[in-house]
Amino acid sequence: MNAYVPPRIYPWFNLLSLGFPVLITAYVLLTVFWVFAWKKRAIVFAAFGLLFLNPVKRWVNYSAEKKETSDLKIISLNAKGGTMGIKNIEDYVDSQNADVVLLQEHVRDYNFKGMGKGRGDVIVSISSKYKIIDQKELIESNSETNNAYANQTDIEIKGNTYRFINVYLQPFKFEKSMVKLKGNSDEDEQKLKDIVKRLIPTFKMHQDQVAAVRKGIDESPYPVILVGDFNSVPNSYEYYHLGKGLKDAFVEAGRGSATSFHDYKFPIRIDYVFTSESIQPLSYKVDRSVRISDHYPVVATFKLKK
């Protein structure tokens, strides 16, 4: 329903998408229970379960390894303001030999070897080994309540131009203490109410921000690579509408879990890479070997069609 119903009309479908890992796990366990209980309803549960294959692949996927040689390597990272070490981020990026680096919540200034800097702001930035032709802001924060940013950068790569769109949608601004339940029914109930009060208005803000980013995608004369921290999970309104007409690089080439935000003990995928049809994702890796932020870096490679 999130593909059709905007949050400003009915936000509760979007709220439901946050619990998808728990809901689908319960569905699978219930199906297995009916199978072992020799109930006919197990056939119905198993059949309807096939409808969830694609939604599940947005969280956990096992694509076949592709043998083609890549033309482009990018890194996307929410840097958390460099609070876990600017040099750690610089050293990691330099070790990866990427062609384009897109940061969200970068706040500080970074210097990557062999890369030129694009014009950025305090939240989203881009660095590239290739020539940056043009840049434009799609979303600009203009108040204390609107903290979303997005910009588009046109880069010439091997004779062709590609549009990179770097997105940071409105954050929910949760602290661990705000979402951690303590077993006290009254206190936990109030926490849940406070969480919902924060989620619903943010979903509605996302709707307008998604529309602004879509304009940059839809009006692009070049193939698009859409990257960033959407502050939204797969199967959400934001996922469906930002990814419309594009390929999810994780679904195309990812292996294992796409969970990228590791600060909570819950599977949360909010970092994404989407591409136009003419760009073939070859690999997508959530690099869990380093902890240089509360997000793991996302590293992806592509084959660019001539």
Render pLDDT for 87-101 as a digit per residue (tens, 0 to 9): 999 999 999 999 999
In a domain, 223, yes or no: yes
In a domain, 159, yes or no: yes
Q: What are the E-state strand segments in 124-211?
A: 124-128, 131-139, 149-157, 160-168
Question: Can you tell me which residue has the tokens 């096939």?
Answer: 50
In a domain, 67, yes or no: yes
CB-based contacts of 141: which residues, under 8 Å, 6+ apart?
A: 123, 147, 148, 149
- What pLDDT does 47 receive? 87
pTM of the model: 0.89
- Angle at CA of residue 175, ends 60 and 257, nearest 5°: 10
Mean pLDDT check: name the lowest of 140-144, 249-253, 269-273: 140-144
What is the rounded CA–CA span in Å between residue 254 and residue 276? 17
Secondary element (H or E) of residue 280 = strand 279-286
- CA geometry: angle at 56 spanning 282 and 210, to 5°? 75
The count of structural domains within the chain is: 1
**Residue 201 falls within a domain, yes or no?**
yes
Q: Please give the residue range of the domain that contains residue 289.
A: 60-304
Residue 49, in any domain of the structure: no
CA 212/CA 31 separation, integer angstroms = 42
Do the domain assignments include residue 23? no
Is residue 9 included in any domain, yes or no?
Answer: no
Assess if residue 77 is contained within a domain: yes
- Give 53-110 pLDDT, tens digit per residue: 888 999 999 888 888 889 999 999 999 888 888 999 999 999 999 999 999 998 778 8
Q: What is the CATH number of the domain that holds 145?
A: 3.60.10.10
- Compute the distance between CA of residue 79 and CA of residue 85 in angstroms, rounded to an integer: 9
Measured N-to-C along each axis, helices 20-36 and 41-49 cross at an angle, to the nearest 10 degrees, of 150
